[in-house]
Amino acid sequence: MQADELTVKQLGPCAVDSPLMRAAGGWNFDFIGDERRVLMDITTQPRPDCEGLSFEQAGPRRKIFFDPKNVRAAILTAGGLCPGLNDVIRGIVMELHYWYGVEVVYGIRYGYQGLTRDTQWPPRPLTMDEVEDIQAHGGTILGSSRGRRDSGEMIETMQQLGINMLFTIGGDGTSRAAHELACEIEKRSLPIAVVSIPKTIDNDIQFVYRSFGFATAVEVSKGVLTCAHVEAKGAPHGVSIVKLMGRDSGAIAAHATLASGDVNYCLVPELPFPLEGEDGLLAHLRARLPQRNHAVICVAEGAGQHLIGDSGRRDASGNIKYNDIGLFLRDAIAADFKQHSEEVNIKYFDPGYTIRSTAAVSADSIFCSDLADHAVHAAMAGKTDVVIGYWHGVFTNVPMAAVVGRKRRIDPRGKLWRAVLSATGQPGHWGLKA
C-alpha cells in the first residue's frame, strides 16, 4: 500500500464556517485539521510495509463544505442485522439536528433497494420524534437487504429527492456498493458526499480495529457458552457444540471463548483443523470424555469448510453460502462414537439470529454514537468515498478503496490465538504451517 491510497477524497474547498462554535455557545471546539494523521504502526520500529503510512484523523473541521441549511441527508442500512444499527441511525440524526441544524434527513428503506426507481418502499422522514427511543431496540427501523443496485439509477433517485449527503451503514458488501456509487458520483461531478459506517458483527473490516456490534455479540455468545457448558456437564459424556458467526474471521468465537472460560475446542476459519486420524478432533474427544466426562466446542460458521466443501450457492451480495459446519460436526461426532461403541450425548446451539437481532450493550451504544458523530463531521466537511475507521483508539477517515475487499483475520501466531490456546488446552499446532 502507498501513502496516496490513504488520501481521502474531497468534494471541494471548505469555505463555510462550522456552526459548532455557535451551537456550543462560543466554547472552543478541538477542531481537527486535515494535516492531523494517525500512524498505521505506532511502534518505534515500524514494519517495513507500514513505515510512513498514516490515516487522516476524523473529527469536526473549523471550515466545512456544506451550508447546513442546504443539506438534505439520507441514511440506509444494508446487509445482515447487527446490534447497534438503531443507535447509529439515531446518532446521525441527532448530530445533524442539534449541532449542524440540518432539517431534512431521509431514512432509505431496505438498503440500496430503497433508492431504486421502482421501489415499493419510499423514504421515510427521520425526525427527532422518529428516533427518540430506537436505541432500546434491536434491528433497524429502516429495514435492510442484500444485493447491489444500478449506481446511475440510485443517483437519479437521490437527485430527485435533493439528497446531497448519504450515510451507508454496513459491512464489506455495503462499502463496496457505496464506493462504486461514490465513483459514479465523482464521474458526474456531483456535490454529493458518501460516507460509510463500518458494520460487521464478525469484526473483520481492514483498518477498523473494532466494528460496532462486536462487543454485544461477544457478550451474548458468552452467555450461550455458559449454558452449553451446563448442558454438557448435565449428561454422561456430554458434548455441546455452539456455532457462532464468523465467515472468514473467527474473532467472535475466539473472544467469546476467552470471555467464557468454559470452551475446550475453539475452531476458526483461519486454522483448518483435522477431524480424522490420531491427531484429529474426533480422537481428542474420545480421549477426553472418559477423563473429563464433558466437552464444549465453539465453532465459527466459516471453520472447517475444507472438510465439507463448497455449497456452490451464493447470497444476493455474492457471498458464498457456506455449508453448516455445526450440523456437520454434530453428525460426524455421533457417527464416530457409534462406530467405536462409545456413549456420547450431543447438544447443539445455533444462536446466530438471536445475537444479530438483540439490542446493543452499553459499550457498543457509546461506540455507535461516536461513529455517527464522526461520520457527520466527515460528510459536512465534504469528505466522500470514505469509511469511518478506528485505529489505536483514535477515529479515522479511511478511503473506501483501501478497505473494500480486504479482511482482517486472526493471526495464528499472534497474542489473541495464544490466549485461546491457553484457555482451551487444545492442540496448538492445528492448522499451522511449518
d(CA 317, CA 145) in angstroms, rounded, equals 9
Distance of CA 45 to the CA centre of its chain: 30
Q: How far apart are CA 240 and CA 346, in angstroms?
A: 6
Enumerate the β-bridge partners of residue 242.
Answer: 298, 349
If you count them, how many residues does the chain have? 434
Task: Look up residue 372 and give its three cell numbers.
Answer: 455517527
Is residue 294 left, alpha or beta, with left meaning phi > 0 and alpha meaning psi from -120 to 50?
A: beta
Reduced to 3 states (helix: H, G, I; strand: E, B; else coil), residue 54 is strand
Cα angle for residues 98, 64, 90 (degrees, 5° grid): 30
Task: State how far the Cα of 404 lies from the Cα of 387, in Å rounded to an integer.
Answer: 10
Among the listed residues 87, 202, 248, 262, the single catalytic one is 202
Q: What distance in Å separates the CA atoms of residue 17 and residue 396, rounded to the nearest whole number?
A: 22
- State the amino acid at position 298 in one-letter form: C
Cα–Cα–Cα angle for 63, 67, 69, rounded to 5 degrees: 145
How far apart, in Å, are the Cα atoms of 224 and each of 219, 221, 267?
Answer: 9, 5, 16
Owner of C-alpha cell 490515516: 55
CA 128 to chain CA centroid, nearest Å: 26
The DSSP element (H or E) to which 370 belongs, if any, is helix 362-380
The answer to whether residues 202 and 251 touch, using CB atoms and an 8 Å cutoff, is yes
For 110, 121, 145, 162, 184, the CA distances from 149, given in Å and listed in that order, are 12, 15, 11, 19, 13
Q: Which three cell numbers stand for residue 332?
A: 460426524
User: What H or E segment, with its residue span, contains residue 105?
Assistant: strand 104-108
**Is residue 46 within 8 Å of residue 97, measured between CB atoms?**
no
Grid-cell match 469509511, residue found = 387
| Phi and psi at residue 388, to the nearest 5° | -85, 115
Residue 202 bears catalytic tag: yes
Neighbours of 62 (CB within 10 A): 14
Residues known to be catalytic: 202
